Amino acid sequence: MDQPSLAWTLSAIWIAYLLLLGGWIVLQKRSPVATLGWLLALGALPYIGFFIYYLFGPQRVERRRLNRQASRRAVESQREDWRQRLEAEALPHASSMGRLIYGASGYPPTIATAHTLLSGGEATFEAIFAAIGQARRSIHLEYYIYERDDTGTALRDLLVAKAREGVQVRLLVDALGSARVTRRWMRPLIEAGGELAFFHATSLRRFRPVLNMRTHRKIVVVDGAIGLTGGINVTDEQDQRRCREPYHDLHLQIEGPAVYWLEQMFLEDWHYSTGQVSGASLPPPELPAGGGGQVVQIIPAGPDELHAPILRAKITAMEHARERIWLTTPYFVPDEPALFALTSAALRGVDVRILVPRRSDNLLVTLAARSWFGELLRVGVRIWEYGPCMLHSKSLVVDDLYSFVGTDNFDNRSFRLNFEVAVLNYEPEAAAALAAQFEADMAGAQELIVRQPRRTIAKRFPEALARLASPLL
């Protein structure tokens, strides 16, 4: 083939490639900026761009969304009477925020008869082990990271003992985050009658490991009566008894009817991963006679949720703030609506504070986060960097009305790409407790100042580059 013919052939292939890949990307119906960005980037990378997009680009979730909806229906069919009772008790008295979250997620406000904030791995693991130790009927656990270290081994051995007592034990771990957990290592649990499942198993044989759509949830439900969730994974890195510089993190323990919805989330994920249906271990507890307890709402989020419930709830709370917005997050990569809510609140005089790690365990995220600091500081947002250990807490306090604790980071990955859970408490006591924790954490942090010496391009350029990758972080 002569050179002109070869050039025409290659040009035709390149045009066909652009049309096919461009049509595929456009049909994803992502934001215009993201869509145009991918089109321009992949147009400049002929042929190999297809594989980059295939492995790392936004993934279609319609089929998985249908599977998730089927899992929700399957679980709800086993618990319909209990669900209807809880909704009838809660919805007539729900606030506008409660109705918003219910409309976005299907999870209504509910009551927690006990609501305990746990700071650090030592307090959290003690609470988890104590709750599991008293289990009589069922133990349900779901984790993003479960390590085969001292903490993971101790928890496995306790689960083995409970399974031998006849307690139903189910452990669901993310196949990517808990890659070191194998059925061979968990054989004692399986042989004792416990069950192990993996969320979104990855496989090179399928060529496309699922990098997004991970379960980032941390859930423990014991006998349908005690529930724990928050930022702490099963690893020595988050326990000060086993690590010299452990991650600093928060967890939450709840009891009462609210645990029903935490277990609902686990059962949906279990059915989605295994196809197995199982009702709750016990009916949800009755509401306290004559009132009592705290009004809370369990909020799910994930790529199967069309309305980004956690992000929507947090932005709505910030838009209604009058006194304070105190945000703690290890990964601060806000999208435009979240950034707009923070800056607007600061401009109208709200006390907006952000607590982030001095250096997170992800350098790219650290650089991206710093790219927003300048514009936030200029409008009056105050920022603290926590150190020397890694800050891993995920919390938000808005006025005395709303306090959020959960598994979600303040980034696109948590709000749209991974499966997360947050607990919103509507009571002033919970807001006061979380605010006190925030102030205690500030003692180990350094506030950034507005007027800094002019920074060199060598420092600003990597941050600007990292910011371009923010939709993927």
Distances (CA, A) of 392 to 80, 133, 235, 361, 396: 37, 27, 13, 10, 13
433 within 8 A of 117, measured Cβ to Cβ = yes
Question: Radius of gyration over alpha carbons of the chain, in Å?
Answer: 23
CB 96 within 8 A of CB 284: no
- Give the separation between CA 111 and CA 254, rounded to whole angstroms: 10
Catalytic residue among 140, 162, 200, 216, which?
A: 216
Collapse the DSSP code of 313 into the 3-class scheme (helix H, G, I; strand E, B; otherwise coil) and give the result: helix
Catalytically annotated residue among 140, 394, 408, 411: 394
> Which of 117, 155, 121 shows the shortest CA–CA distance to 135?
155
Instruction: Give the whole-angstrom CA distance, residue 372 versus residue 438.
Output: 21
Residue 400 among the catalytic residues: no
- 304 assigned to active site: no
Q: Do residues 426 and 401 lie in contact, with contact meaning Cβ atoms separated by under 8 Å? A: yes
Closest CA to 110 of 313, 302, 299, 320: 299
Of the candidates 115, 140, 200, 218, the residue annotated as catalytic is: 218
CA–CA dist 247, 386 (Å, integer): 11
Our answer to whether residue 394 is catalytic in this structure is yes
Measured CA to CA, the distance from residue 442 to residue 351 in angstroms comes to 15
Choosing from 239, 251, 392, 441, the catalytic residue is 392
Q: Which of 287, 271, 211, 209 shows the shortest CA–CA distance to 79?
A: 271
* CA separation for the pair 18, 245 (Å, rounded): 49
**SS3 of residue 358 by DSSP:** coil
Q: Is 216 a catalytic residue?
A: yes
Name the phi and psi angles at 402, rounded to 5: -130, 135
Whether residue 200 lies in the annotated active site: no
Of 399, 408, 411, 441, catalytic: 399
Place of tokens 């490991």: 209
User: What is the rounded distance in angstroms from the CA atom of residue 108 to the CA atom of residue 99?
Assistant: 7
Q: For this structure, is 392 an active site residue?
A: yes
Residues with a known catalytic role: 216, 218, 223, 392, 394, 399
